[in-house]
Every structure is written in structure tokens, then in C-alpha cells.
Chains A and B, each alone.
Chain A
Amino acid sequence: MPSAAARPAVGFALLALAGLALPLFTRDAYHLDVATTMAMNLSLTMGLRLQMSTGQINMAHISFMGIGAYTSALLVTRVGLSFWATLWIAAGVAAACAVLIGSLALRVSGPYYFLISFAFSEVVRLFFNNFFEDLFGGPSGLVGIPKPTPLPGLGLAVEGKLELYYLMLVLFLLAAVVFIRLEYSRFGLVASTIRQADLLAETLGVNVFRHKLATFVLGSLVAGLAGAFFVHSHQVLHSSDFGLEPMVLLVVFTVIGGTGSVWGPVVGTILLGVAVEFLRQLGHYETLVLGGVLMLTMLFAPEGLIALPGKVARRVRHRRTRKAATAVGVGLAP
């Protein structure tokens, strides 16, 4: 068992090894597609969880992915910039939008914030769908978006499923390093205090607003990065890609995995990502099964799957202690 200080590094190393080694076991196009989507969703859910650790349930998280996607698509197709430049510009634009939106929305909390973020996500989706049709493609969306150009300097083509998988994996691992580093720092320690007792945190010197804004912007920056990747790997773009349904799925992955730890969304996204592929055969019943899993998790493991082993271990320890006490005759006299 690694020491507490080494656990984040060991966890990250295992995650990176598993990701890098996957193509040694399968190069099937479908499997690589699933793994690429999983790496993208992991970037999104880890960012969402960072925001949730401060008590924000941001229903507009996926909108920042959309902002990144449209930014990159337009800069490549209309301006002629390289994908490698637009990847970072898209992340920057998503972050800049997050500064603007967050500065307003984060002045409220709880259900009000939830509703504002939900309203913003719908505004963004409808904006891409109904306005500037020449630019955003309207209800038909954008098609013919080119794949990433070869990597400058190395001339490495990023066109096949395997290369795209590795590119998304690298982006995810970069994001994961940041999220894990923050989780085990004072920043992570303080983030959760805002959810527990924000006024107390503020009176102890924590600038609650600034802290929430930082998590909001960072999560949105990574979402913008994922969006830029998404649009060039799928080569088509539609506003519904960033609508309510995929957003709810991200929340479900994060919450079922557990929002109390940086590893929660990792567990939730991987397990449910695989489960969703199997459930696909059930058609419309897929949503029903996912809803059921969410309800059961909330009833029996509200802290998420990540907290389950610890909970079981505590219960077993408690039972053993009680048994031992009964064996030596400790207890109340009748």
C-alpha cells in the first residue's frame, strides 16, 4: 500500500499506464472510439467535479466544450489557422467566456446558480442553432471540418483512430495532472470547505467568490480543449452535441463515481462509460437503467462508488468490534 503522500502519483501513474497500454491489447476501431470518448469525458467530469467540490452544480459545463468546438472549427475553416494553434485558442476563448459568465452567475449559489447555469446552456445551444446560420451552420450544423494537421516539427499525422486516441489521452493526462495536483494542495482542501460552510470559509480568509471562479474557469478551459479535439475528430458539429442530454450524462458519471474525491469521476466515467456501451442494445431502456443506477447509488452510497470500499471496510470493522465485545461479555446487563 503506497503512503498517503505517494498515492496521487501512484494513482496517476496507473491511469497513464492503463491508457498508454490499451492499444497493446486492442486496435479495433470501435474499441479505440470508445476509449477516446472516455478520455474526453474524463477531462470533462474531472473539471465538473472540481467545480462541484465548491458546491456548484454547473449545468453549462458542456456549453464551454461547445464554445471551444465552434471556435476551433471556425478558426480552422474560415481563418485557416492550424489545429495546433486553435486547440489552445479554443481553450482560451472558453476560459474567457467562463470569466464573464462566472463573474455574474457565481454571485448566487444553490438552486439559483443551478438555474442560471441551466439557462445559459440553453442560450448557448439555441444561439449556435438559430443565429448567424452562415457562420454556425444553423440546424444543419457544420460539416467537413478537417482532421488535425500533422504535428508541427515532427510531421506526425494525427488522422487514424489510434493517433486520435493518443492525442486525446495526452490532453486528458495533462488535465489530470492539474486536477490531481490541485486536489492534494491547499486549493483542493479549501474548495471543499466552500461546499461545507461557505460563510465560515470566507470569515477564515478564503475569498469564496474568487475560489469558485477559479474552479469554474479552469474546468471550462479544459472543456474548451476537449471541444476543440471533439470537433476535429468527429469532423461534424451540431448544437445538440452540447445539449441537455450529454450534460446530464456527465453529471451522472460524476455523481455516481463520487464528488468527494478527485478519483470519483475517474471511477464513474470508466465504469459507466463501459456500461453505456453494453446498455446501448437496450435502446430507450438505457436511460431507464442509468436512472435506476443513479437512484440506487444515491440511496445506498450517496458519496459515490469511490467511497464504497471504505464504507464496507468500516462496517466490517464495526461488526468485528461488536462481535469481540460480545465474546468477552461486554454490554448492558439485562
Chain B
Amino acid sequence: MAVSDLSMSVIKGTIHGLIGPNGAGKSTVFNLIPGVLPLTQGEIRFKGERISGLRPSEVCRRGIARTFQATTLFREYTVFQNVLVAAHRLAAPGLGSALVWSRTYRGREQAARERARTLLAALNLAAVADEVAGSLPHRDQKALVLAMALATGAELVILDEPMAGLAAQEKDATTEALRGLRREGLTILLVEHDMRAVMGVCDTITVLDHGVRIAEGTPREIQENPAVIEAYLGVEDPGA
């Protein structure tokens, strides 16, 4: 079992870190929350409502968006189209509305376009809006992934290693962006290997090891927790 007996709460308007050594089960938790993987036991609740067992699209409609570890994008589409697709929740989906082209459909589509433009401007992607997403540099792809998660209108955003592959300055900019999102009331669940970034930006942190929660607390509490130190550094062999 990849994850067992895990109990974790994420408080609204905070940044909650989920850390642990390789193979600890972080990615499994990230796949369980949005319904990418099915739960075999237990339940996941969001705003008091049970969301385990729902399709990922239904989980997204309830206000949870996730990004993927690798920069997964619609590589053949432009940057603008990527964000426009992500604003699907705001638009009027379905065959009927697309065929009838009603006033409601056009209005909601216009709102989705405006939201996409606003987000691209906020994340400094406006200049590359018409570029094909697959041709963007890594830094811009990371920003685009974040823009897409935000375009869903989610209240909880699950970010899988947003700093991976970024230079020090770019990491600082991303950290600042996350703080800005928190100020706007967004709740963030973050998996990240860069401990400096995690300790600097998270309000609370849950530590996993071998699929089990070994600690939870503020960054300071986590840094001083012997179980966490042991999980990351291992126990010194007295006979060595």
C-alpha cells in the first residue's frame, strides 16, 4: 500500500506543504485528492463534502485544481488556448450550448477569455500568448501550468514541484507569487523538494515516510522534529 492511515487537514487560505523522501507517497496523495487514483479505504472531504469516488473533472468542478510534476500542457495549443481550456469550469460546456450559441454561452465564453487574458498578464505571459505552448522555455511553461490551475477558478490548488528545474531567481519569484495567491485567499497544497522554498513559504507542513505521516506542524517544528531528521538523513550506525 503506497499510503496508509493518513489523516491530514488543509486550512483555508494557507499554504500547506507535503514533504518526504523519495517514495514516501506524496505523489500518491496528490493523485488521490483529485480522483486520479481511487481510494481503497477512508475518505477525502472538501468544504465538508465527500469528494472521494468522484471523477477528476467533478473534483475540479467542486473547486480543486492540480498541476503535474512534469510540465504537462496541451503542447500543440497556444498559451492562450491552454488557459482558455483551463477556464472550462467558467464556460458553458456541452454539445447543446456550443450548437445553439446562445447569449448565455457567448457571455460565459467571453468571461472565460477575459479571465485567461487577466491571468496571462498577471503571470507575465501576455507577450507569449500566441506562442505554441510546447515551444516555450521551461520557466514560462511552469508559469503557464500555474496560470492554468488558477484559470479553473479553484479554491484549492495542488502544486506538484512548481520550483523543479528553475534557477534561484525564478524560484524566488515563484515563492513570491505563491505568497501573493495566499494573500488573495487561495489555499495551496504544495509538494516540493526545495526545502528552502518549502520552509520559507508554507504555514504548515505534513511529512510522509513510507506512506505514513510521521510529523505535522509549522516549518520550525518540522525542522526540529527528530523523526523527520531521521527520515531524511537516516540514523547514524553506532558500530560504523
Answer yes or no: do A and B interact.
yes
B148 within 8 A of A: yes
Which residues of the other chain, A, contact B57 by a CB distance below 8 angstroms? Answer: 202-208
Which residues of the other chain, A, contact B91 by a CB distance below 8 angstroms? Answer: 186
Determine if B85 and A201 form an interchain contact, defined as CB atoms under 8 angstroms apart.
yes
Given A202-B55, A204-B60, are A196 and B88 also a contact pair (CB < 8 Å)?
Answer: no
Determine if B89 and A205 form an interchain contact, defined as CB atoms under 8 angstroms apart.
yes
Determine if B72 and A197 form an interchain contact, defined as CB atoms under 8 angstroms apart.
yes
- Give the interface size bracket for B toward A: 35 or more
Given A200-B73, A203-B34, are A189 and B152 also a contact pair (CB < 8 Å)?
Answer: no
Determine if B95 and A204 form an interchain contact, defined as CB atoms under 8 angstroms apart.
no
Determine if B88 and A185 form an interchain contact, defined as CB atoms under 8 angstroms apart.
no
B27 within 8 A of A: no
Determine if A192 and B76 form an interchain contact, defined as CB atoms under 8 angstroms apart.
yes
Beta-carbon contacts under 8 Å, B82-102 to A: 84-86, 88-89, 91-95, 98-99, 101
Taken residue by residue from 152 to 190, chain A's Cβ proximity to chain B (1 for < 8 Å, 0 otherwise) reads as: 000000000000000000000000001001100111111
Q: Which residue of B lies closest to A208 (CB)?
A: B57
Q: Quick check: which of B8-16, B61-69, B185-193, B211-219 contacts chain A, the rest being far away?
A: B61-69
A218 within 8 A of B: yes
A145 within 8 A of B: no
Which residues of the other chain, B, contact A218 by a CB distance below 8 angstroms? Answer: 95
Which residues of the other chain, A, contact B164 by a CB distance below 8 angstroms? Answer: none
A224 to chain B, nearest CB (A): 17
Which residues of the other chain, A, contact B66 by a CB distance below 8 angstroms? Answer: 203
Which residues of the other chain, B, contact A196 by a CB distance below 8 angstroms? Answer: 74-77
* Number of A-B contacts defined by CB within 8 Å: 91
A219 to chain B, nearest CB (A): 12
Beta-carbon contacts under 8 Å, A199-243 to B: 199-209, 214, 218
Q: Which residue of B lies closest to A204 (CB)?
A: B86
Given A189-B85, A193-B77, are A205 and B152 also a contact pair (CB < 8 Å)?
Answer: yes
Of A181, A182, A197, A205, which is within 8 A of B73 by CB?
Answer: A197
Given A186-B93, A193-B85, A204-B148, are A178 and B55 also a contact pair (CB < 8 Å)?
Answer: no
B36 within 8 A of A: yes
Determine if A181 and B85 form an interchain contact, defined as CB atoms under 8 angstroms apart.
no
B81 within 8 A of A: yes
Which residues of the other chain, B, contact A205 by a CB distance below 8 angstroms? Answer: 57, 60-61, 88-89, 152
Distance, CA A196 to CA B65, complexed state (A): 19
A321 to chain B, nearest CB (A): 16
Interface SS of chain A: helix, strand, loop or mixed? helix
Which of A186, A188, A190, A260 has its CB near the most chain B CB atoms (within 10 A)? A186
Which residues of the other chain, B, contact A204 by a CB distance below 8 angstroms? Answer: 57, 60, 65, 85-86, 88-89, 148, 152
Which residues of the other chain, B, contact A189 by a CB distance below 8 angstroms? Answer: 81, 84-85
Distance, CA A324 to CA B55, complexed state (A): 54
Distance, CA A214 to CA B93, complexed state (A): 12
Distance, CA A189 to CA B86, complexed state (A): 11
Given A203-B56, A204-B60, A205-B57, are A197 and B74 also a contact pair (CB < 8 Å)?
Answer: yes
Given A197-B72, A204-B148, are A190 and B85 also a contact pair (CB < 8 Å)?
Answer: yes
A108 to chain B, nearest CB (A): 16
Which residues of the other chain, A, contact B86 by a CB distance below 8 angstroms? Answer: 204
B155 within 8 A of A: no
Distance, CA A204 to CA B84, complexed state (A): 11
Which residues of the other chain, B, contact A193 by a CB distance below 8 angstroms? Answer: 74, 77, 85
Determine if A200 and B88 form an interchain contact, defined as CB atoms under 8 angstroms apart.
no
Of B77, B98, B109, which is within 8 A of A182 by CB?
Answer: B98
Given A193-B85, A203-B60, A204-B85, are A187 and B98 also a contact pair (CB < 8 Å)?
Answer: yes
Given A197-B73, A205-B61, are A186 and B88 also a contact pair (CB < 8 Å)?
Answer: yes
Of B56, B73, B101, which is within 8 A of A202 by CB?
Answer: B56
Distance, CA A218 to CA B36, complexed state (A): 28
Which residues of the other chain, B, contact A203 by a CB distance below 8 angstroms? Answer: 34, 36, 56-57, 59-60, 65-66
Taken residue by residue from 41 to 59, chain B's Cβ proximity to chain A (1 for < 8 Å, 0 otherwise) reads as: 0000000000000011111
Distance, CA A195 to CA B86, complexed state (A): 15
What are 13 sample pairs from A and B whose C-beta atoms fall under 8 A apart?
Answer: A190-B88, A196-B76, A197-B74, A202-B57, A204-B57, A204-B60, A204-B88, A206-B57, A206-B88, A207-B55, A207-B57, A214-B95, A218-B95
A interface vs B, CB < 8 Å?
Answer: 178, 181-182, 185-190, 192-193, 196-197, 199-209, 214, 218, 260
10 closest A-B pairs by beta carbon, nearest first, are A185-B98, A187-B98, A205-B60, A205-B89, A202-B56, A205-B88, A207-B57, A203-B56, A196-B74, A214-B95
